[in-house]
Amino acid sequence: MIAIIDYGVGNLFSLQSSLKLIEAEAVVTRDEKQIREADRIILPGVGAFGDAVKKLKDTGMFGLLREEADRGKPMLGICLGMQLLFDRSLEYGVHEGLGLIKGEVRPIAPVIPAGLDVPHMGWNSLRFPDKLPRSPIFKSLSEGDFVYFVHSYAGFDCEAACTATSDYGIPLTAAVQRENVYGTQFHPEKSGDTGLRILKEFASL
């Protein structure tokens, strides 16, 4: 059973539908018992970092997610959910994250070439770094496969955990992993067959 963490707004319908299609059992929940009993966790998210952290803390899930990650449970953060795994974010002030991935979340606007749109929105191709082994959730993917992104902030200073990048004038962090903790900046549930393959790999870790 996959626990999809419910902490407020966002389109969870597509994520649930895509898991149903790959026949992975999932439940949208904020219930401690259900989260502890699940064998995997997906942390979704759209919206603002600070607001999301506040909601996770208010519902008691902030500490719970850290504990479950430390116990070795496979966890996948998607989009803002990936950013929440980082040490901190500079989105509207400085906010502490879950600290499961070393690095910092910062706006992309100052570092990408002038003239490129913000948000980075649309289908971009994945590059897998040579020096790291291929992350298990990308086992069935090929270099250059396209996935769907929508974001204005990205993970930086996370080279040790960066398992995929996408070129937007500069290489942006597209995915991260540290042991059982995974994150994708893009939306696998909106990335067609490629995305479904990633979710399938995560569901069978």
Partner 1 sequence: MITKRIIPCLDVRDGRVVKGTNFLNLQDVSDPVKLAANYSAAGADELVFYDITASAEGRKLFTGILKKVAETVFIPLTVGGGINTVEDFDRVLKCGADKVSVNSGAIRRPELIREAAEVYGSQCVVLSVDVKRVGESFHVFSHGGRVDTGLEALSWICKGVELGAGEVVLNSIDTDGVKQGFDLEMLKAVNALVSVPVIASGGAGCIEDFVSLFQEIPELSAGLAASIFHFGQVQIPELKMRLRENGILVR
Q: Which residues bind partner 1 (CB under 8 A)?
A: 9-11, 13-14, 17-18, 20-21, 46-48, 115-125, 146, 148-152, 167-168, 187, 189-193, 195-196
Least spacing, CB of residue 17 vs partner 1, in Å:
5
Cite the beta strand spans of the chain per DSSP E: 2-5, 26-29, 40-43, 75-78, 86-89, 95-96, 101-107, 120-125, 146-151, 153-156, 162-168, 170-178, 181-184
Of 79, 104, 120, 201, catalytic: 79
Are the CB atoms for 88 and 34 separated by under 8 Å? Answer: no
* Closer residue to partner 1 (CB): 68 or 201: 201
Of 68, 91, 104, 189, catalytic: 189
Least spacing, CB of residue 165 vs partner 1, in Å:
12
**Count of CB atoms within 10 A of residue 52's CB?**
26
* Closer residue to partner 1 (CB): 155 or 195: 195
Of 95, 120, 151, 187, catalytic: 187
187 is a catalytic site residue: yes
Least spacing, CB of residue 56 vs partner 1, in Å:
17
Give the tokens for residue 56: 């996770």
Tokens 């070393």 locate to 102
* Closer residue to partner 1 (CB): 111 or 121: 121
Q: Name 184's Cβ contacts closer than 8 Å, sequence gap at least 6.
A: 76, 77, 78, 79, 82, 147, 164, 174, 175, 198
79 is a catalytic site residue: yes
Classify strands 101-107 and 86-89 as parallel, antiparallel or unpaired. parallel
* Closer residue to partner 1 (CB): 47 or 129: 47
Least spacing, CB of residue 152 vs partner 1, in Å:
8
Catalytic residues: 79, 187, 189
